[in-house]
Amino acid sequence: MRTRAELFRYAGLDVQGTILTGHYELDGRQFSERVSFEGVGDLGPAARAVAELWYVIAGLSYYKAGAARRVELGSTRLGPKGRTLLHAALRDGLGEFAYRNDLDLDDVVIAGGVEVERYSPALDPNRVLTPFGGGIDSVVTVTRLNERLEQSLFIVSPSAGRFHSLEATATVTGLPVVRASRTLDEQVLHGDPTFYNGHVPVTAMVTLLAALAAVASGRGGVVMSNEHSASVPNLYWRDRPVNHQWSKSLDAEVLIGDALGELVGDGLVVASFLRDRSELWVAEAFASEGDYHRVFRSCNRAFAQDNAQRAASWCGECDKCLFIDLVLAPFLARERLREIFGGEPLAERAREAQLRTLVGLGEQHKPFECVGDPDESAVALRAVSALAEWRDAPQLAEIAARTSPERTFDELLRPQGPRRVPAHWLR
């Protein structure tokens, strides 16, 4: 039985050249995280202010070890909008963590902190950074962004070594790379039986590192690749939505933008290029990008922090593999998909329970993975089950017949909801 900690303390952020070192304490136990940048100059005052916002959100990776009842910011600079972001990241960004550990984080008190100074760095709106993960979403963003923009990729690599599949996919783009290398505290990497474990809002941390790199290099945009479905919760628990993808959601995007705005003004735009797009729209767009089919990877097992545990190919077993196979199937020939995945997750009988869950028919909620909402999955399955080349997998039609999606295939290929994308990012 784990016991909650009493105090999580922000012990200070060191900035040396292009290296950040964040220090934290949990009931006196010390942690540190180090991030080094390649492709940017030394961090000036505006970039350092953004670094402090990153430092605050990155602290949740260590806060979660004890789920302390009190958070002490000390002399950390954090404005009102930054504080609002931290509150949301702790309660909603750690929503899945709280659900899995049956913790109520509404009792957490956040104290301390000092006011921020607002800067006006010279940022070029036509120079942008695109955080790149090597999956279909970031590939589509890269290839659909206005070609008149000066675009560079932003990649976060772990201290254990770069992700081969990500690097191979980035090479196909032909774009320059700005990089951050992240070294997590060994205590968190190796675990401890006294620690709580669970999901943290990693994408929010990556977004803020990209914003820091953009400010440090005079770029006026950070182009994210989060689809409309990222805002859909997995379930409701204690009358609150629990969303594995909270830090990819529109709510998080707005909060991050507001918190950055009080530091550097409106010269920096952070928005998702795919915000009003469905997973099916993205899959259709990716299907036409043949140069990427042999190298892209969305299976999470390819991105394990421990190099020895990384999968060299698609595992074909996880919900992410199954989902990507499903949404690409209406647009790519079955043989081509077999070549990509080295098998057929969608046709395997062993994946039937997972498939039912993806389309909203399973006994469990939507998987805690970066997958589309059940409605999108059901529409994709209906489309696939009607294709002649998949008729030797009758279970697909059997499952599809039980679904009742609210949208049609054609509707999902049209814009879905609002977006914050500036006009000059579009072609």
Structural domain ending residue among the three candidates 248, 272, 296: 272
Same domain, residue pair 259 and 338: no
- Is residue 60 in some structural domain? yes
CA distance linking residue 327 with residue 298, whole number of Å = 13
Same domain, residue pair 233 and 353: no
Region for residue 360 given its phi and psi (left: phi exceeds 0; alpha: psi -120 to 50; beta: otherwise): left
pLDDT at 302: 66
How many other CB atoms are there within 10 angstroms of residue 174's CB atom? Answer: 7
pLDDT at 1: 67
Same domain, residue pair 88 and 196: yes
Same domain, residue pair 321 and 243: no
Q: What is the DSSP letter of 154?
A: E
Task: State which residues form the domain around 100.
Answer: 7-121+176-272
pLDDT at 106: 95
pLDDT at 300: 79
pLDDT at 310: 67
Flag residues of the chain having pLDDT under 70: 1, 302-311
pLDDT at 227: 98
Contact 20, 13 (CB under 8 A): yes
Same domain, residue pair 219 and 350: no
> Which residues have C-beta within 8 Å of that of residue 304, sequence separation ≥ 6?
310, 311
Same domain, residue pair 12 and 70: yes
pLDDT at 374: 96
Instruction: For residue 364, give the amino acid letter.
Output: Q
pLDDT at 160: 76
Same domain, residue pair 381 and 256: no
